[in-house]
Amino acid sequence: MYTFNAIRTFCLSATMLAVSFASYAQDAIEQTWYNQEKTAKVKIFKATDGKYYGRITWLKEPNNAEGQPRTDVNNPKKERKNDPLLGLQILKGFVKDGDKEYEDGTIYDPKNGKTYSCRITHKGSTLDVRGYVGISLLGRTTTWTKAD
């Protein structure tokens, strides 16, 4: 026969196990995504601060004409121009807002060296990534597709 303490211990253990699994559950956005042109893959992850970030993990053309790894030549900071594009963090500080929206982040465009405010909308196997200056109406949306 089970005692009250045994049942209580079992229930407490089951609850703790469920909570630990929930803390490891990934959000749907935490995957690898192709940019719209399919020239790069960006891995989106949740950091310890609870915000979402994205880093370039693959480039269609990882090397320049001289055969050297491509670098962030358009970065406005002189000391960053030699940073490799592979591994570069281009998405920063996104906060989840509802089921499918991620906002208050920024996106860095290595093609022009500019950083924009950004909002991401998850749509199943695609992301709408909207970069803008000032207000969201003054921006551009690109569609990224799931790479995994």
CA 12/CA 103 separation, integer angstroms: 36
Rounded Cα distance, 51 and 69, in Å: 29
The CATH class given to the 26-146 domain equals mainly beta
Query: What's the number of CA atoms in the CB half-sphere (13 Å) around residue 90?
Result: 27
Give the pLDDT of the chain (148 residues) as one tens digit per residue. 555 454 444 434 444 444 334 445 789 999 999 999 999 999 999 999 999 999 999 999 999 999 999 999 999 999 999 999 999 999 999 999 999 999 999 999 999 999 999 999 999 999 999 999 988 888 999 999 999 7
The per-residue pLDDT for 20 is 38
> Is 120 exposed, middle or buried, given 0-12, 13-18 or 19+ CB atoms closer than 10 A?
buried
User: To which residue do tokens 């592979």 refer?
Assistant: 86
Q: What are the domain boundaries of the chain? A: 26-146
CB 54 within 8 A of CB 34: no
pLDDT in tens, 30-67: 999 999 999 999 999 999 999 999 999 999 999 999 99
Three-state DSSP string of 60-74: CCCECCCCCECECCC
- Collapsing DSSP to helix, strand or coil, 24 comes out as helix
Residue found by looking up tokens 């906002």 in the block: 103
End-to-end CA distance of the chain: 50
Residue 118, strand partner residues: 105, 131
Three-class SS state of 73: coil
